[in-house]
A and B are shown apart, each in its own frame.
Chain A
Amino acid sequence: MKHGIDEHDSRFKIARREAWIGIILVIINFVWWYGFAYGLGSESVEEYGYVFGLPAWFFYSCVGGFVLMVVLVTLAVKYFFKEVPFDDEQEETS
Protein backbone atom coordinates (compact mmCIF):
# COMPACT_ATOMS: atom_id res chain seq x y z
CA MET A 1 0.00 0.00 0.00
CA LYS A 2 1.21 3.53 -0.63
CA HIS A 3 2.30 6.19 1.87
CA GLY A 4 4.63 3.65 3.44
CA ILE A 5 1.83 2.06 5.46
CA ASP A 6 3.27 -1.16 6.75
CA GLU A 7 0.45 -3.46 7.77
CA HIS A 8 2.86 -5.35 10.00
CA ASP A 9 3.62 -2.21 11.99
CA SER A 10 3.50 -3.40 15.61
CA ARG A 11 1.37 -0.37 16.53
CA PHE A 12 -1.39 -1.67 14.28
CA LYS A 13 -1.44 -4.95 16.18
CA ILE A 14 -2.06 -2.95 19.34
CA ALA A 15 -4.77 -0.91 17.60
CA ARG A 16 -6.49 -4.05 16.37
CA ARG A 17 -6.45 -5.57 19.85
CA GLU A 18 -7.94 -2.40 21.33
CA ALA A 19 -10.69 -2.37 18.72
CA TRP A 20 -11.59 -5.91 19.80
CA ILE A 21 -11.69 -4.78 23.41
CA GLY A 22 -14.18 -2.12 22.29
CA ILE A 23 -16.37 -4.75 20.68
CA ILE A 24 -16.21 -7.02 23.73
CA LEU A 25 -17.13 -4.12 26.02
CA VAL A 26 -20.10 -3.14 23.90
CA ILE A 27 -21.36 -6.74 23.97
CA ILE A 28 -21.04 -6.90 27.77
CA ASN A 29 -22.81 -3.52 27.95
CA PHE A 30 -25.66 -4.73 25.78
CA VAL A 31 -26.14 -8.08 27.53
CA TRP A 32 -26.19 -6.45 30.98
CA TRP A 33 -28.59 -3.75 29.81
CA TYR A 34 -30.94 -6.18 28.05
CA GLY A 35 -30.78 -8.88 30.69
CA PHE A 36 -31.77 -6.72 33.64
CA ALA A 37 -34.27 -4.59 31.73
CA TYR A 38 -36.30 -7.43 30.26
CA GLY A 39 -35.35 -10.11 32.80
CA LEU A 40 -36.70 -8.18 35.80
CA GLY A 41 -38.91 -5.71 33.94
CA SER A 42 -41.15 -8.26 32.25
CA GLU A 43 -42.88 -9.20 35.51
CA SER A 44 -46.13 -7.42 36.21
CA VAL A 45 -45.65 -3.96 37.68
CA GLU A 46 -47.13 -4.98 41.09
CA GLU A 47 -44.33 -7.54 41.50
CA TYR A 48 -41.50 -5.04 40.98
CA GLY A 49 -38.82 -4.67 43.61
CA TYR A 50 -37.34 -1.22 44.27
CA VAL A 51 -33.82 0.09 44.82
CA PHE A 52 -33.44 3.72 45.99
CA GLY A 53 -37.03 4.25 44.95
CA LEU A 54 -36.44 3.19 41.35
CA PRO A 55 -37.85 -0.06 39.95
CA ALA A 56 -35.17 -2.74 40.34
CA TRP A 57 -34.99 -3.54 36.60
CA PHE A 58 -34.29 0.11 35.84
CA PHE A 59 -31.81 0.57 38.64
CA TYR A 60 -29.68 -2.43 37.67
CA SER A 61 -29.99 -2.03 33.91
CA CYS A 62 -29.51 1.73 33.50
CA VAL A 63 -27.92 3.11 36.67
CA GLY A 64 -25.96 -0.05 37.52
CA GLY A 65 -25.05 -0.60 33.86
CA PHE A 66 -23.68 2.92 33.63
CA VAL A 67 -21.51 2.50 36.72
CA LEU A 68 -20.37 -0.94 35.57
CA MET A 69 -19.30 0.37 32.16
CA VAL A 70 -17.39 3.28 33.66
CA VAL A 71 -15.49 0.82 35.85
CA LEU A 72 -14.86 -1.66 33.02
CA VAL A 73 -13.79 1.04 30.56
CA THR A 74 -11.43 2.56 33.11
CA LEU A 75 -9.90 -0.83 33.90
CA ALA A 76 -9.56 -1.72 30.22
CA VAL A 77 -7.82 1.57 29.41
CA LYS A 78 -5.53 1.40 32.46
CA TYR A 79 -4.47 -2.21 32.05
CA PHE A 80 -4.87 -3.18 28.40
CA PHE A 81 -4.34 -0.02 26.38
CA LYS A 82 -0.80 0.78 25.37
CA GLU A 83 0.66 4.19 24.67
CA VAL A 84 2.22 4.38 21.23
CA PRO A 85 3.67 7.36 19.35
CA PHE A 86 1.57 8.57 16.41
CA ASP A 87 4.25 10.30 14.37
CA ASP A 88 6.93 7.76 13.51
CA GLU A 89 9.38 9.81 11.49
CA GLN A 90 10.07 13.35 12.47
CA GLU A 91 10.95 14.30 8.89
CA GLU A 92 7.41 15.49 8.27
CA THR A 93 7.13 19.13 7.38
CA SER A 94 3.49 19.98 7.31
Chain B
Amino acid sequence: MNWSVIVPLLLFLVIIFIIGFWASTYLKTSDSFLQEYFLGGRQLGGFILAMTMTATYGSASSFIGGPGAAYTQGLGWVLLSMAQLATGYFVLMILGKKFAIVTRKYKAVTLVDFLKERYESKWVVLLSAASIIIFLFSAMAAQWVGGARLIESITGLSYTSALFLFAASVMIYVIIGGFRAVALTDAVQGSIMFIGTLILLIATIIAGGGIPNIISDLTAENPNLISPYGFDGGLTPLYVSSFWILVGVGVVGLPQITVRAMSYKNAKSMHRAIIIGTVVIGFIMLGMHLIGVFARSVLPGIEVADTVMPLLTMEVLPSWLAGLVLAAPMAAIMSTVDSLLLLVSSAVVKDVYLNYIKPDASNQRVKNLSFGVTTVLGVLVFLIALSPPDLIIWLNLFSFGGLEAAFIWPVVMGLYWRSGNKYGAIASMVVGVGSYMIIHLYFPNPFGIHTVVLPILFSLVAFVLGSMIGKQRQKASAYVA
Protein backbone atom coordinates (compact mmCIF):
# COMPACT_ATOMS: atom_id res chain seq x y z
CA MET B 1 0.00 0.00 0.00
CA ASN B 2 1.15 3.49 -0.83
CA TRP B 3 1.01 5.33 2.49
CA SER B 4 2.11 8.73 1.27
CA VAL B 5 -0.98 8.77 -0.93
CA ILE B 6 -3.28 7.32 1.71
CA VAL B 7 -2.41 9.70 4.55
CA PRO B 8 -3.75 12.86 2.82
CA LEU B 9 -6.92 10.92 1.95
CA LEU B 10 -7.39 9.87 5.58
CA LEU B 11 -6.80 13.44 6.74
CA PHE B 12 -9.51 14.55 4.35
CA LEU B 13 -11.94 12.02 5.85
CA VAL B 14 -11.13 13.17 9.39
CA ILE B 15 -11.90 16.79 8.49
CA ILE B 16 -15.19 15.72 6.94
CA PHE B 17 -16.16 13.88 10.14
CA ILE B 18 -15.36 16.83 12.36
CA ILE B 19 -17.66 18.99 10.24
CA GLY B 20 -20.40 16.38 10.46
CA PHE B 21 -20.25 16.32 14.25
CA TRP B 22 -20.15 20.07 14.47
CA ALA B 23 -23.20 20.38 12.20
CA SER B 24 -25.09 17.86 14.30
CA THR B 25 -25.01 20.26 17.25
CA TYR B 26 -27.37 22.52 15.31
CA LEU B 27 -29.91 19.73 15.19
CA LYS B 28 -30.21 19.76 18.97
CA THR B 29 -30.84 23.48 19.20
CA SER B 30 -33.21 23.83 16.25
CA ASP B 31 -36.92 24.01 17.02
CA SER B 32 -37.95 22.52 13.68
CA PHE B 33 -36.15 19.26 13.07
CA LEU B 34 -37.41 18.85 9.49
CA GLN B 35 -36.36 22.32 8.31
CA GLU B 36 -32.95 21.89 9.90
CA TYR B 37 -32.25 18.28 8.92
CA PHE B 38 -33.37 18.48 5.29
CA LEU B 39 -32.73 22.16 4.55
CA GLY B 40 -30.16 23.44 7.05
CA GLY B 41 -32.71 25.89 8.45
CA ARG B 42 -32.51 27.93 5.21
CA GLN B 43 -29.37 29.62 6.48
CA LEU B 44 -26.81 29.03 3.74
CA GLY B 45 -24.54 31.92 2.83
CA GLY B 46 -23.26 32.71 -0.65
CA PHE B 47 -19.99 30.78 -0.63
CA ILE B 48 -21.47 27.61 0.88
CA LEU B 49 -24.45 27.78 -1.49
CA ALA B 50 -22.22 28.11 -4.55
CA MET B 51 -19.98 25.28 -3.40
CA THR B 52 -22.77 22.88 -2.51
CA MET B 53 -24.42 23.44 -5.89
CA THR B 54 -21.17 22.97 -7.77
CA ALA B 55 -20.03 19.98 -5.74
CA THR B 56 -23.40 18.25 -5.92
CA TYR B 57 -23.48 18.74 -9.66
CA GLY B 58 -19.86 17.78 -10.27
CA SER B 59 -19.65 14.02 -9.81
CA ALA B 60 -17.59 11.04 -10.84
CA SER B 61 -18.16 11.98 -14.46
CA SER B 62 -16.50 15.39 -14.12
CA PHE B 63 -13.31 13.93 -12.64
CA ILE B 64 -13.07 10.41 -14.02
CA GLY B 65 -15.36 9.83 -17.02
CA GLY B 66 -15.10 13.36 -18.48
CA PRO B 67 -11.30 13.63 -18.59
CA GLY B 68 -11.23 10.06 -19.94
CA ALA B 69 -13.54 11.02 -22.80
CA ALA B 70 -11.49 14.16 -23.45
CA TYR B 71 -8.37 11.97 -23.63
CA THR B 72 -10.00 9.99 -26.42
CA GLN B 73 -11.85 12.79 -28.23
CA GLY B 74 -9.51 15.76 -27.93
CA LEU B 75 -10.47 19.43 -27.61
CA GLY B 76 -13.94 18.78 -29.08
CA TRP B 77 -14.90 17.14 -25.79
CA VAL B 78 -13.68 20.11 -23.79
CA LEU B 79 -15.88 22.27 -25.99
CA LEU B 80 -18.83 20.01 -25.23
CA SER B 81 -18.16 20.06 -21.51
CA MET B 82 -18.20 23.86 -21.47
CA ALA B 83 -21.97 23.72 -21.93
CA GLN B 84 -21.92 23.16 -18.18
CA LEU B 85 -20.72 26.69 -17.54
CA ALA B 86 -24.36 27.74 -17.80
CA THR B 87 -25.34 25.73 -14.72
CA GLY B 88 -23.25 28.12 -12.61
CA TYR B 89 -25.63 31.04 -13.09
CA PHE B 90 -28.71 29.77 -14.94
CA VAL B 91 -30.38 27.66 -12.22
CA LEU B 92 -30.19 30.32 -9.54
CA MET B 93 -31.26 33.08 -11.91
CA ILE B 94 -34.27 31.17 -13.24
CA LEU B 95 -35.60 29.74 -9.98
CA GLY B 96 -34.15 32.69 -8.14
CA LYS B 97 -36.07 34.84 -5.76
CA LYS B 98 -39.49 33.66 -6.75
CA PHE B 99 -38.73 30.07 -5.75
CA ALA B 100 -37.17 31.24 -2.49
CA ILE B 101 -40.17 33.39 -1.57
CA VAL B 102 -42.82 30.91 -2.64
CA THR B 103 -41.23 27.90 -0.93
CA ARG B 104 -40.97 29.89 2.28
CA LYS B 105 -44.65 30.75 2.11
CA TYR B 106 -45.51 27.12 1.45
CA LYS B 107 -43.10 26.10 4.23
CA ALA B 108 -41.79 23.60 1.70
CA VAL B 109 -38.83 21.45 2.77
CA THR B 110 -38.52 19.36 -0.40
CA LEU B 111 -39.11 19.90 -4.09
CA VAL B 112 -42.13 17.62 -3.79
CA ASP B 113 -43.55 19.86 -1.03
CA PHE B 114 -43.44 22.74 -3.47
CA LEU B 115 -45.20 20.72 -6.18
CA LYS B 116 -47.78 19.49 -3.68
CA GLU B 117 -48.77 23.00 -2.56
CA ARG B 118 -48.59 24.42 -6.06
CA TYR B 119 -50.71 21.78 -7.79
CA GLU B 120 -52.71 20.39 -4.85
CA SER B 121 -52.76 16.91 -6.27
CA LYS B 122 -52.03 13.57 -4.71
CA TRP B 123 -50.94 12.15 -8.07
CA VAL B 124 -48.37 14.84 -8.63
CA VAL B 125 -46.90 14.04 -5.21
CA LEU B 126 -46.85 10.30 -5.71
CA LEU B 127 -45.42 10.49 -9.24
CA SER B 128 -42.70 12.90 -8.29
CA ALA B 129 -41.75 11.12 -5.06
CA ALA B 130 -41.58 7.84 -6.99
CA SER B 131 -39.37 9.34 -9.73
CA ILE B 132 -37.01 10.78 -7.12
CA ILE B 133 -36.77 7.55 -5.13
CA ILE B 134 -36.28 5.27 -8.13
CA PHE B 135 -33.97 7.41 -10.26
CA LEU B 136 -31.85 8.91 -7.54
CA PHE B 137 -31.50 5.64 -5.69
CA SER B 138 -30.04 4.10 -8.84
CA ALA B 139 -27.84 7.11 -9.51
CA MET B 140 -26.58 6.87 -5.96
CA ALA B 141 -25.74 3.18 -6.26
CA ALA B 142 -23.76 3.88 -9.43
CA GLN B 143 -21.79 6.66 -7.73
CA TRP B 144 -20.97 4.38 -4.79
CA VAL B 145 -19.57 1.82 -7.15
CA GLY B 146 -17.43 4.59 -8.68
CA GLY B 147 -16.25 5.76 -5.25
CA ALA B 148 -15.31 2.26 -4.17
CA ARG B 149 -13.46 1.54 -7.43
CA LEU B 150 -11.47 4.74 -6.97
CA ILE B 151 -10.46 3.85 -3.40
CA GLU B 152 -9.65 0.36 -4.61
CA SER B 153 -7.34 1.65 -7.34
CA ILE B 154 -5.57 4.19 -5.14
CA THR B 155 -5.08 2.20 -1.96
CA GLY B 156 -4.98 -1.38 -3.15
CA LEU B 157 -7.75 -2.41 -0.75
CA SER B 158 -10.22 -5.04 -1.98
CA TYR B 159 -13.42 -3.76 -3.61
CA THR B 160 -15.54 -4.82 -0.63
CA SER B 161 -13.39 -3.10 1.97
CA ALA B 162 -13.09 -0.03 -0.23
CA LEU B 163 -16.86 0.09 -0.57
CA PHE B 164 -17.27 -0.34 3.16
CA LEU B 165 -14.83 2.48 3.89
CA PHE B 166 -16.59 4.75 1.43
CA ALA B 167 -20.11 3.90 2.60
CA ALA B 168 -19.30 4.22 6.28
CA SER B 169 -17.66 7.62 5.88
CA VAL B 170 -20.52 9.11 3.88
CA MET B 171 -23.27 7.65 6.04
CA ILE B 172 -21.87 8.80 9.36
CA TYR B 173 -21.83 12.49 8.57
CA VAL B 174 -25.06 12.50 6.57
CA ILE B 175 -27.01 10.67 9.26
CA ILE B 176 -25.83 12.71 12.20
CA GLY B 177 -25.54 16.10 10.54
CA GLY B 178 -28.26 16.29 7.87
CA PHE B 179 -28.33 19.01 5.24
CA ARG B 180 -26.06 21.40 7.12
CA ALA B 181 -23.36 18.73 7.32
CA VAL B 182 -23.86 17.92 3.65
CA ALA B 183 -23.61 21.57 2.60
CA LEU B 184 -20.59 22.33 4.77
CA THR B 185 -18.71 19.22 3.71
CA ASP B 186 -19.65 20.09 0.13
CA ALA B 187 -17.90 23.44 0.63
CA VAL B 188 -14.73 21.65 1.74
CA GLN B 189 -15.08 19.07 -1.03
CA GLY B 190 -15.76 21.77 -3.63
CA SER B 191 -12.65 23.67 -2.55
CA ILE B 192 -10.60 20.48 -2.82
CA MET B 193 -12.02 19.91 -6.31
CA PHE B 194 -11.02 23.44 -7.30
CA ILE B 195 -7.50 23.29 -5.83
CA GLY B 196 -6.92 19.75 -7.12
CA THR B 197 -7.85 20.84 -10.64
CA LEU B 198 -5.49 23.81 -10.46
CA ILE B 199 -2.52 21.77 -9.19
CA LEU B 200 -3.00 18.97 -11.69
CA LEU B 201 -3.47 21.36 -14.63
CA ILE B 202 -0.22 23.18 -13.88
CA ALA B 203 1.70 19.94 -13.27
CA THR B 204 0.40 18.41 -16.49
CA ILE B 205 1.36 21.44 -18.58
CA ILE B 206 4.86 21.38 -17.08
CA ALA B 207 5.20 17.61 -17.59
CA GLY B 208 4.12 18.02 -21.22
CA GLY B 209 6.74 20.73 -21.84
CA GLY B 210 4.32 23.67 -22.19
CA ILE B 211 1.04 24.11 -24.07
CA PRO B 212 2.51 24.71 -27.57
CA ASN B 213 4.55 21.54 -27.22
CA ILE B 214 1.55 19.49 -26.09
CA ILE B 215 -0.62 20.82 -28.90
CA SER B 216 1.99 20.03 -31.54
CA ASP B 217 2.32 16.49 -30.09
CA LEU B 218 -1.43 16.07 -30.49
CA THR B 219 -1.43 17.53 -34.01
CA ALA B 220 1.32 15.14 -35.00
CA GLU B 221 -0.64 12.17 -33.65
CA ASN B 222 -4.02 13.11 -35.13
CA PRO B 223 -4.94 16.64 -36.28
CA ASN B 224 -8.60 15.97 -35.45
CA LEU B 225 -7.69 16.02 -31.76
CA ILE B 226 -7.31 19.80 -31.87
CA SER B 227 -10.40 20.38 -34.03
CA PRO B 228 -13.88 20.82 -32.54
CA TYR B 229 -15.12 17.63 -34.25
CA GLY B 230 -13.61 14.85 -32.15
CA PHE B 231 -10.86 12.35 -33.00
CA ASP B 232 -12.84 10.76 -35.86
CA GLY B 233 -14.91 13.80 -36.85
CA GLY B 234 -17.93 12.26 -35.12
CA LEU B 235 -18.87 15.21 -32.90
CA THR B 236 -21.27 17.21 -35.04
CA PRO B 237 -22.14 20.80 -34.09
CA LEU B 238 -25.79 19.78 -33.60
CA TYR B 239 -24.96 16.90 -31.27
CA VAL B 240 -22.50 18.93 -29.22
CA SER B 241 -24.96 21.83 -29.00
CA SER B 242 -27.72 19.57 -27.73
CA PHE B 243 -25.66 19.01 -24.57
CA TRP B 244 -26.67 22.55 -23.64
CA ILE B 245 -30.05 21.02 -22.83
CA LEU B 246 -28.76 17.96 -20.95
CA VAL B 247 -25.99 19.47 -18.85
CA GLY B 248 -26.74 23.18 -19.20
CA VAL B 249 -30.23 24.61 -18.92
CA GLY B 250 -31.95 21.28 -18.19
CA VAL B 251 -30.22 21.09 -14.82
CA VAL B 252 -33.00 23.38 -13.53
CA GLY B 253 -35.08 20.19 -13.36
CA LEU B 254 -32.72 18.12 -11.18
CA PRO B 255 -34.21 17.78 -7.68
CA GLN B 256 -30.83 17.62 -5.94
CA ILE B 257 -30.03 21.03 -7.46
CA THR B 258 -33.45 22.69 -7.09
CA VAL B 259 -33.67 21.83 -3.40
CA ARG B 260 -30.55 23.95 -2.90
CA ALA B 261 -32.34 26.91 -4.47
CA MET B 262 -34.60 27.03 -1.42
CA SER B 263 -31.91 26.73 1.21
CA TYR B 264 -30.22 30.12 1.16
CA LYS B 265 -30.46 32.85 3.71
CA ASN B 266 -31.15 35.98 1.70
CA ALA B 267 -30.85 37.73 -1.64
CA LYS B 268 -27.25 38.69 -0.94
CA SER B 269 -26.21 35.02 -0.54
CA MET B 270 -27.91 34.22 -3.81
CA HIS B 271 -26.11 37.03 -5.63
CA ARG B 272 -22.72 35.97 -4.32
CA ALA B 273 -23.45 32.32 -5.08
CA ILE B 274 -24.21 33.13 -8.73
CA ILE B 275 -20.83 34.78 -9.24
CA ILE B 276 -18.78 32.26 -7.23
CA GLY B 277 -20.65 29.32 -8.76
CA THR B 278 -19.94 30.49 -12.32
CA VAL B 279 -16.23 30.89 -11.60
CA VAL B 280 -15.87 27.57 -9.79
CA ILE B 281 -17.87 25.37 -12.15
CA GLY B 282 -16.34 26.98 -15.25
CA PHE B 283 -12.83 26.51 -13.94
CA ILE B 284 -13.32 22.90 -12.83
CA MET B 285 -14.98 21.84 -16.09
CA LEU B 286 -12.49 23.64 -18.34
CA GLY B 287 -9.51 22.54 -16.25
CA MET B 288 -10.38 18.87 -15.74
CA HIS B 289 -11.29 18.23 -19.37
CA LEU B 290 -8.26 20.10 -20.64
CA ILE B 291 -6.15 17.95 -18.31
CA GLY B 292 -7.68 14.90 -19.99
CA VAL B 293 -6.62 16.15 -23.44
CA PHE B 294 -3.12 17.16 -22.32
CA ALA B 295 -2.68 13.75 -20.66
CA ARG B 296 -2.49 12.27 -24.13
CA SER B 297 0.82 13.95 -24.75
CA VAL B 298 2.23 13.09 -21.29
CA LEU B 299 0.97 9.49 -21.08
CA PRO B 300 0.08 8.21 -24.54
CA GLY B 301 -1.58 4.87 -25.12
CA ILE B 302 -3.82 4.46 -22.05
CA GLU B 303 -6.43 1.84 -22.92
CA VAL B 304 -9.08 2.27 -20.21
CA ALA B 305 -10.32 5.87 -20.34
CA ASP B 306 -11.49 5.88 -16.70
CA THR B 307 -7.95 5.36 -15.45
CA VAL B 308 -6.51 8.43 -17.20
CA MET B 309 -7.00 10.81 -14.28
CA PRO B 310 -5.57 8.57 -11.48
CA LEU B 311 -2.64 7.39 -13.62
CA LEU B 312 -1.79 10.90 -14.73
CA THR B 313 -1.88 12.18 -11.14
CA MET B 314 0.52 9.49 -9.95
CA GLU B 315 2.78 10.24 -12.94
CA VAL B 316 3.12 14.02 -12.79
CA LEU B 317 2.93 14.72 -9.04
CA PRO B 318 5.05 13.74 -6.03
CA SER B 319 3.10 11.15 -4.06
CA TRP B 320 2.08 13.34 -1.09
CA LEU B 321 0.60 15.88 -3.51
CA ALA B 322 -1.00 13.10 -5.54
CA GLY B 323 -2.94 12.08 -2.43
CA LEU B 324 -4.32 15.60 -2.12
CA VAL B 325 -5.28 15.78 -5.80
CA LEU B 326 -6.83 12.31 -5.76
CA ALA B 327 -8.96 13.49 -2.86
CA ALA B 328 -10.67 15.70 -5.48
CA PRO B 329 -12.54 12.96 -7.37
CA MET B 330 -13.30 11.33 -4.00
CA ALA B 331 -14.71 14.66 -2.86
CA ALA B 332 -16.71 14.97 -6.07
CA ILE B 333 -18.28 11.56 -5.61
CA MET B 334 -18.93 11.99 -1.90
CA SER B 335 -20.48 15.42 -2.33
CA THR B 336 -22.89 14.03 -4.93
CA VAL B 337 -23.74 10.91 -2.97
CA ASP B 338 -24.39 12.68 0.33
CA SER B 339 -26.93 15.00 -1.30
CA LEU B 340 -28.68 12.14 -3.06
CA LEU B 341 -28.87 10.08 0.14
CA LEU B 342 -30.45 12.94 2.04
CA LEU B 343 -32.83 13.74 -0.80
CA VAL B 344 -34.10 10.18 -1.14
CA SER B 345 -34.49 10.02 2.61
CA SER B 346 -36.52 13.26 2.57
CA ALA B 347 -38.72 11.86 -0.18
CA VAL B 348 -39.52 8.83 1.95
CA VAL B 349 -39.96 10.61 5.29
CA LYS B 350 -41.50 13.91 4.28
CA ASP B 351 -43.19 13.27 0.95
CA VAL B 352 -44.59 9.81 1.55
CA TYR B 353 -44.74 9.14 5.30
CA LEU B 354 -45.76 12.57 6.61
CA ASN B 355 -48.07 13.29 3.70
CA TYR B 356 -50.01 10.08 3.53
CA ILE B 357 -49.19 7.71 6.36
CA LYS B 358 -48.99 9.72 9.53
CA PRO B 359 -49.36 13.48 9.08
CA ASP B 360 -49.51 14.19 12.84
CA ALA B 361 -46.25 12.48 13.81
CA SER B 362 -44.43 14.17 16.69
CA ASN B 363 -41.11 15.97 16.24
CA GLN B 364 -39.31 13.22 18.15
CA ARG B 365 -40.84 10.53 16.00
CA VAL B 366 -39.93 12.35 12.79
CA LYS B 367 -36.41 12.67 14.11
CA ASN B 368 -36.00 8.98 14.86
CA LEU B 369 -37.61 8.09 11.58
CA SER B 370 -35.31 10.40 9.58
CA PHE B 371 -32.19 8.91 11.17
CA GLY B 372 -33.64 5.42 10.67
CA VAL B 373 -34.63 5.86 7.03
CA THR B 374 -31.31 7.47 6.12
CA THR B 375 -29.48 4.56 7.73
CA VAL B 376 -31.62 1.89 6.08
CA LEU B 377 -31.22 3.56 2.67
CA GLY B 378 -27.47 3.75 3.13
CA VAL B 379 -27.24 0.08 4.05
CA LEU B 380 -29.45 -0.84 1.09
CA VAL B 381 -27.27 1.09 -1.35
CA PHE B 382 -24.21 -0.57 0.17
CA LEU B 383 -25.69 -4.04 -0.36
CA ILE B 384 -26.70 -3.20 -3.92
CA ALA B 385 -23.29 -1.73 -4.72
CA LEU B 386 -21.63 -4.97 -3.59
CA SER B 387 -22.87 -6.58 -6.79
CA PRO B 388 -25.01 -4.10 -8.71
CA PRO B 389 -27.93 -5.75 -10.53
CA ASP B 390 -28.50 -4.88 -14.18
CA LEU B 391 -31.74 -3.08 -13.39
CA ILE B 392 -29.88 -0.48 -11.30
CA ILE B 393 -27.29 0.12 -14.02
CA TRP B 394 -30.09 0.48 -16.52
CA LEU B 395 -32.06 2.91 -14.38
CA ASN B 396 -28.95 4.96 -13.67
CA LEU B 397 -28.57 5.62 -17.38
CA PHE B 398 -31.98 7.25 -17.32
CA SER B 399 -31.65 9.14 -14.10
CA PHE B 400 -30.16 12.42 -15.27
CA GLY B 401 -32.28 12.98 -18.35
CA GLY B 402 -35.31 11.25 -16.86
CA LEU B 403 -35.44 13.58 -13.87
CA GLU B 404 -34.94 16.62 -16.07
CA ALA B 405 -37.78 15.55 -18.36
CA ALA B 406 -40.00 14.87 -15.34
CA PHE B 407 -39.45 18.04 -13.33
CA ILE B 408 -38.27 20.91 -15.49
CA TRP B 409 -41.68 22.16 -16.62
CA PRO B 410 -43.72 21.44 -13.48
CA VAL B 411 -41.12 23.50 -11.58
CA VAL B 412 -40.44 26.34 -14.04
CA MET B 413 -43.97 26.72 -15.41
CA GLY B 414 -45.37 26.20 -11.91
CA LEU B 415 -43.47 29.29 -10.88
CA TYR B 416 -44.04 31.55 -13.85
CA TRP B 417 -47.22 30.45 -15.58
CA ARG B 418 -50.31 31.02 -13.48
CA SER B 419 -52.60 28.86 -15.62
CA GLY B 420 -50.45 25.77 -15.17
CA ASN B 421 -52.35 23.18 -13.14
CA LYS B 422 -52.20 19.61 -11.95
CA TYR B 423 -53.42 18.14 -15.24
CA GLY B 424 -50.54 19.81 -17.01
CA ALA B 425 -48.05 18.70 -14.36
CA ILE B 426 -49.14 15.06 -14.44
CA ALA B 427 -49.22 14.97 -18.26
CA SER B 428 -45.80 16.59 -18.41
CA MET B 429 -44.20 14.09 -16.01
CA VAL B 430 -45.74 11.03 -17.63
CA VAL B 431 -44.94 12.17 -21.17
CA GLY B 432 -41.45 13.38 -20.21
CA VAL B 433 -40.28 10.21 -18.48
CA GLY B 434 -42.19 7.88 -20.82
CA SER B 435 -40.91 9.40 -24.05
CA TYR B 436 -37.40 9.59 -22.60
CA MET B 437 -37.38 5.86 -21.93
CA ILE B 438 -38.87 4.97 -25.31
CA ILE B 439 -36.49 7.19 -27.26
CA HIS B 440 -33.54 6.00 -25.20
CA LEU B 441 -34.39 2.37 -25.89
CA TYR B 442 -35.55 2.43 -29.48
CA PHE B 443 -34.36 5.64 -31.16
CA PRO B 444 -31.24 6.82 -29.32
CA ASN B 445 -29.98 10.24 -30.40
CA PRO B 446 -32.67 10.86 -33.04
CA PHE B 447 -31.70 13.25 -35.90
CA GLY B 448 -28.21 13.45 -34.40
CA ILE B 449 -29.30 15.28 -31.25
CA HIS B 450 -28.98 13.97 -27.70
CA THR B 451 -31.84 11.76 -26.52
CA VAL B 452 -32.96 14.21 -23.83
CA VAL B 453 -33.95 17.05 -26.18
CA LEU B 454 -37.18 15.69 -27.65
CA PRO B 455 -38.67 14.47 -24.33
CA ILE B 456 -38.12 17.92 -22.86
CA LEU B 457 -39.98 19.48 -25.80
CA PHE B 458 -42.73 16.85 -25.58
CA SER B 459 -43.20 17.39 -21.88
CA LEU B 460 -43.52 21.15 -22.46
CA VAL B 461 -46.26 20.55 -25.00
CA ALA B 462 -47.92 18.09 -22.62
CA PHE B 463 -47.78 20.62 -19.81
CA VAL B 464 -49.41 23.38 -21.84
CA LEU B 465 -52.07 21.19 -23.47
CA GLY B 466 -52.80 19.35 -20.22
CA SER B 467 -53.22 22.59 -18.32
CA MET B 468 -55.55 24.07 -20.94
CA ILE B 469 -57.72 20.98 -21.29
CA GLY B 470 -57.71 20.47 -17.53
CA LYS B 471 -58.81 24.03 -16.94
CA GLN B 472 -61.90 23.54 -19.08
CA ARG B 473 -62.73 20.36 -17.20
CA GLN B 474 -62.38 22.21 -13.93
CA LYS B 475 -64.68 24.95 -15.16
CA ALA B 476 -67.24 22.41 -16.36
CA SER B 477 -67.22 20.53 -13.06
CA ALA B 478 -67.44 23.80 -11.14
CA TYR B 479 -70.83 24.44 -12.76
CA VAL B 480 -72.03 20.96 -11.82
CA ALA B 481 -70.92 21.40 -8.24
Give residues in A with beta carbon < 8 Å to B. 1-5, 7, 9, 11-12, 14-16, 18-19, 21-23, 25-26, 29-30, 33-34, 37-38, 41-42, 45-46, 48, 50, 52-55, 57-58, 61-63, 65-66, 69-70, 73-74, 77, 81-88, 94
Contacts and interface: CB of A to CB of B under 8 A. Distances in A.
B266 A83 contact: yes
A24 to B, nearest CB: 10
Give the interface SS of chain A, mostly helix, strand, loop or mixed. Answer: helix
22 contacts: A4-B105, A14-B97, A16-B416, A26-B90, A34-B237, A37-B79, A37-B237, A48-B226, A50-B215, A52-B211, A55-B215, A55-B226, A61-B228, A62-B78, A62-B82, A69-B85, A69-B89, A69-B282, A70-B279, A84-B267, A86-B104, A87-B104
B154 interface: no
B117 interface: yes
A3 B105 contact: yes
A66 B228 contact: no
Contacts of A16: 98, 416
A55 B101 contact: no
Interface string B384-395: 000000000000
B170 interface: no
Interface string B211-243: 111110001000110111100000001000100
Contacts of B13: none
Interface stretch (B59-67, B143-151, B268-276, B373-381): B268-276
A43 to B, nearest CB: 9
B105 A73 contact: no
Contacts of B248: 26
Contact of A19 (B35, B93, B266): B93
Given A5-B102, A34-B237, A21 B93 contact: yes
Nearest to A81: B271
B249 interface: yes
Given A25-B93, A34-B237, A66 B268 contact: no
A55 B74 CA distance: 12
Given A3-B117, A18-B96, A81-B267, 14 more contacts: A2-B120, A14-B97, A22-B93, A25-B89, A25-B90, A34-B237, A38-B228, A41-B229, A53-B213, A58-B228, A69-B85, A81-B271, A84-B101, A88-B101
Contacts of B416: 16, 19
Nearest to B106: A3
Contacts of A14: 97
Contact of A86 (B100, B226, B283, B418): B100
A62 B286 contact: yes
Contacts of A1: 418
Interface in B256-303: 266-268, 271, 274-275, 278-279, 282-283, 286
B94 interface: yes
Contacts of A11: 97-98, 101
Contact of A66 (B82, B93, B210): B82
A73 B249 CA distance: 16
Interface residues of B, number: 58
Contacts of B229: 41
Contacts of A70: 275, 278-279, 282
B122 interface: no
A33 B76 CA distance: 12
Contacts of B244: 30
A25 to B, nearest CB: 6
B413 interface: no
Contacts of A84: 97, 101, 267
Nearest to B215: A53
A57 B214 CA distance: 17
Nearest to B241: A34
A29 to B, nearest CB: 6
B278 A73 contact: yes
Contacts of A63: 286
Contacts of B210: 53
Given A45-B226, A69-B85, A70-B278, A83 B102 contact: no
B473 interface: no
Nearest to B285: A66
Given A54-B215, A70-B282, A73-B278, A18 B79 contact: no
B94 A22 contact: yes
B97 A86 contact: yes
